[in-house]
A = this chain, B = another copy of it.
């Protein structure tokens, strides 16, 4: 009986705290996309883009046209509903809501073949970039880097249409599966290669050229956003074509440009631009000191 009183009192306090919060806490006005549905859409898109790997035995029995068309139809209504939900917190006029939703959905499906072509190039890049890859098939079937790029490219298309929340839900799902956090707003060229990937962060206003390679732990981030939340504009770096950035390097700042063909060594901390055709690296030999065994604690 005492515990009933305890929980009753705790509930009252928690309930009061809802009222004090600056964000809606116990409001039924919020309309949020359904994370599970968004994830299912991603899984079906994977079947569409890589049928021989995730499409099961169906592909042996029907033409590719039929296979793809069915699956597109299978996700259409769900994706449309989620996009409309996501817009509906901001767009209250029904006609405008329908217009924006249709525009985003049409844009998404229209661009899917183009995105598919980009992803084929990413497959090639991820195979070429990793000597440990047994085959391109293995890359498609089990590489987290390619998976993160796939999800990013889908989310980016929705981001481009101004769809709120859903692009982020998508890339955060990939983030939780792979440890690779690519903001859906980033602009990324062709033949993008990510190796291992865990710990990679690519910020919202990053621009990445073609044939760029990123290793695990690389940050393409912002300089300290002092000055509050209102900082807008380009806050993340630009990386030129053919650049390679090794593990754990941090490259920060919206005006920082890594020139084409440059190589950034592992664990570098870069806050200003690096010219093209340059190798920038920590000069470890000068920095390390050696200790005799006896000195060690």
Contact between A14 and B113 (Cβ–Cβ < 8 Å)? yes
Q: In the assembled complex, which residues on chain B have CB atoms less than 8 Å from the CB atom of A58?
A: 70, 73-74, 76-77
Contact between A70 and B72 (Cβ–Cβ < 8 Å)? no
A68 contacts B by Cβ under 8 Å: yes
Contact between A77 and B61 (Cβ–Cβ < 8 Å)? yes
Q: In the assembled complex, which residues on chain B have CB atoms less than 8 Å from the CB atom of A179?
A: 179, 198-199
Q: In the assembled complex, which residues on chain B have CB atoms less than 8 Å from the CB atom of A65?
A: 11-12, 15, 66
Closest beta carbon of chain B to A148's beta carbon, Å? 11
How many residues on the A side are at the interface (Cβ–Cβ under 8 A)? 155
Contact between B57 and A76 (Cβ–Cβ < 8 Å)? yes
Interface residues in A74-133 by Cβ distance below 8 A to B read 74, 76-78, 89, 106, 109-110, 112-113, 116-117, 120, 123-124, 127-133
4 new A-B contacts, CB < 8 A, other than A17-B116, A63-B69, are A7-B61, A10-B110, A62-B69, A66-B66
Q: In the assembled complex, which residues on chain B have CB atoms less than 8 Å from the CB atom of A67?
A: 15, 26, 70, 73
In-complex Cβ contact of A265 among B18, B164, B269 (8 A)? B269
A160 contacts B by Cβ under 8 Å: no
Q: In the assembled complex, which residues on chain B have CB atoms less than 8 Å from the CB atom of A141?
A: 32, 165, 169
Contact between B181 and A216 (Cβ–Cβ < 8 Å)? yes
Closest beta carbon of chain B to A113's beta carbon, Å? 4
A196 contacts B by Cβ under 8 Å: yes
Q: In the assembled complex, which residues on chain B have CB atoms less than 8 Å from the CB atom of A52?
A: 24-28, 30
A157 contacts B by Cβ under 8 Å: no
In-complex Cβ contact of A221 among B56, B229, B232, B247 (8 A)? B247
Question: Could you tell me the distance between the alpha carbons of A112 and B17 in the complex, rounded to whole angstroms?
Answer: 11
Closest beta carbon of chain B to A65's beta carbon, Å? 5
Q: Considering the complex of A and B, which 8 residue pairs feature the smallest CB-CB distances, nearest first? A: A61-B73, A250-B266, A70-B70, A62-B73, A57-B77, A28-B60, A11-B69, A277-B293
Q: List 8 A-B contacts (CB under 8 A).
A: A17-B113, A57-B77, A58-B77, A67-B70, A130-B229, A131-B229, A201-B247, A277-B296
Q: In the assembled complex, which residues on chain B have CB atoms less than 8 Å from the CB atom of A246?
A: 221, 224, 250, 252
A187 contacts B by Cβ under 8 Å: no
Contact between A23 and B137 (Cβ–Cβ < 8 Å)? yes
